[in-house]
């Protein structure tokens, strides 16, 4: 690049300096995590009973929460994008609430709804003997609560952006509305479905506030990876750092998956 080109594309220093600081601010903690990690003890920490237990529980609950979000979230996205009904705007706003709500508050709200004496929980307990708080299904509920909006919003956006021309064509060929959804709409928004699911999974995996409030912190039952990191900080900080690296690795994988596959192809289609 010649100096002439640079004079056009390079930012003036009042912009460049704060921009550089911002980048440093975002990058330095990640660097610190990598530098200070107990690389020599890494394998033994990660294969310890507590770590493996937390990791397995995290993967299981995050997968379950993603599945729950998928099964009910995709239909919700369709309804929000396509159906006309009173209160649709209110419903859309409701979907975004868990996105901005502090997760701890979400956990308390879940307790008040599904707790043993909660709005719904008391009946679940008395009629079916189901208790959610402080159980593994409770973790799934907490994670689904915070993760589902990511999926719904991603899929709803894709459905809104989708030209209805192909769906109209399918209808004239005799396909019922359900068949159109299954055989035309879903395949066309596949990239966004995957992106939404990956985002929801990442969010569920990192869930802390709502989980600890609603499901507690019982090793092997509700102690997921982020909770194990938190506990580790008080006992064995190097263990906390090692587990944090696992979560960082997952985040990087998600980022790469979204960048190279879903986001770009989604934008192109």
Partner 1 sequence: MSADTVTTSTRGLQGRVVVERGEFRLDVEIDVRPGEVLAVIGPNGAGKSTLLRAICGLTPLTDGAISLGGAVLDDPAADVLVPAARRGVGVVFQEYRLFPHLSVLDNVAFGPRSAGRSKAQSRTDAAEWVARLRLDDLAQRSPERLSGGQQQRTALARALASGPGVLLLDEPLAALDAATRIDVRRDLSTHLAQFAGPTVIVTHDALDALVLADRIVVLEDGRITQQGTALEVARRPASDYVAKLLGLNLLRGEAADGEVTVDGGGLLHVPDHAMTGPVLVALRPSGIALHTAQPEGSARNVWPGVVDGVEPLGERVRVSVTGAPSVLVDVTPGAVADLHVAPGDAVWLSAKATELEVYPG
Told to check if 182 binds partner 1 by CB under 8 A, we report: no
Residue position matching structure tokens 């709005």: 119
What tokens appear for 76 in the block? Answer: 């919700």
Q: What is the dihedral of CA 240, 26, 145, 80, to 10 degrees?
A: -160
Told to check if 176 binds partner 1 by CB under 8 A, we report: yes
Told to check if 161 binds partner 1 by CB under 8 A, we report: no
| Choices 22-30, 49-57, 167-175, 216-224 (CB under 8 A): range interacting with partner 1 | 167-175
Element at 216 (helix H, strand E): none
Told to check if 36 binds partner 1 by CB under 8 A, we report: no
Is the CB of 171 or the CB of 254 nearer to partner 1?
A: 171
Calpha distance 144→11 (Å, rounded): 43
Residue position matching structure tokens 């192909």: 166
Give the closest residue to 151 by CA, choosing from 46, 49, 71, 89.
Answer: 71
Q: What is the dihedral of CA 91, 93, 95, 99, to 10 degrees?
A: -170
Told to check if 188 binds partner 1 by CB under 8 A, we report: yes
Give the closest residue to 53 by CA, choosing from 232, 246, 225.
Answer: 225
Out of 3, 174, 234, 268, name the contact with partner 1 by CB under 8 A.
174
Is the CB of 47 or the CB of 269 nearer to partner 1?
A: 269
Is the CB of 169 or the CB of 256 nearer to partner 1?
A: 169
Is the CB of 100 or the CB of 178 nearer to partner 1?
A: 178
Told to check if 179 binds partner 1 by CB under 8 A, we report: yes
Binding residues for partner 1 (CB under 8 A): 165-166, 168-177, 179, 183-184, 187-188, 190
């Amino acid at each position: 690049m010649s100096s002439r080109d640079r004079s056009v594309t390079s930012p003036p220093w009042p912009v460049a300096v704060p921009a550089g600081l911002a980048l440093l601010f975002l990058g330095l903690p990640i660097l610190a995590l990598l530098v200070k990690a107990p690389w020599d003890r890494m394998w033994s920490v990660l294969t310890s009973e507590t770590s493996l237990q937390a990791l397995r529980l995290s993967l299981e609950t995050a997968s379950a929460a993603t599945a729950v979000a998928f099964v009910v979230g995709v239909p919700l996205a369709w309804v929000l994008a396509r159906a006309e009904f009173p209160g649709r705007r209110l419903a859309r706003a409701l979907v975004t609430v868990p996105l901005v709500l502090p997760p701890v508050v979400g956990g308390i709200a879940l307790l008040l709804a599904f707790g043993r004496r909660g709005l719904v929980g008391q009946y679940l307990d008395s009629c079916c003997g189901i208790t959610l708080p402080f159980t593994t299904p409770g973790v799934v509920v907490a994670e689904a609560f915070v993760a589902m909006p990511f999926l719904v919003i991603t899929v709803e956006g894709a459905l809104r952006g989708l030209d209805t021309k192909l769906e109209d064509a399918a209808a004239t060929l005799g396909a019922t509305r359900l068949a159109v959804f299954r055989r035309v709409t879903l395949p066309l928004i596949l990239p966004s479905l995957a992106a939404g699911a990956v985002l929801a999974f990442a969010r569920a995996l990192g869930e802390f506030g709502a989980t600890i409030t609603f499901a507690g912190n019982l090793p092997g039952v509700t102690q997921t990876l982020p909770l194990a990191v938190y506990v580790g900080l008080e006992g064995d900080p190097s263990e906390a750092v090692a587990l944090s690296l696992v979560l960082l690795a997952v985040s990087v994988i998600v980022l790469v998956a979204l960048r190279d596959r879903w986001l770009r192809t989604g934008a192109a289609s």
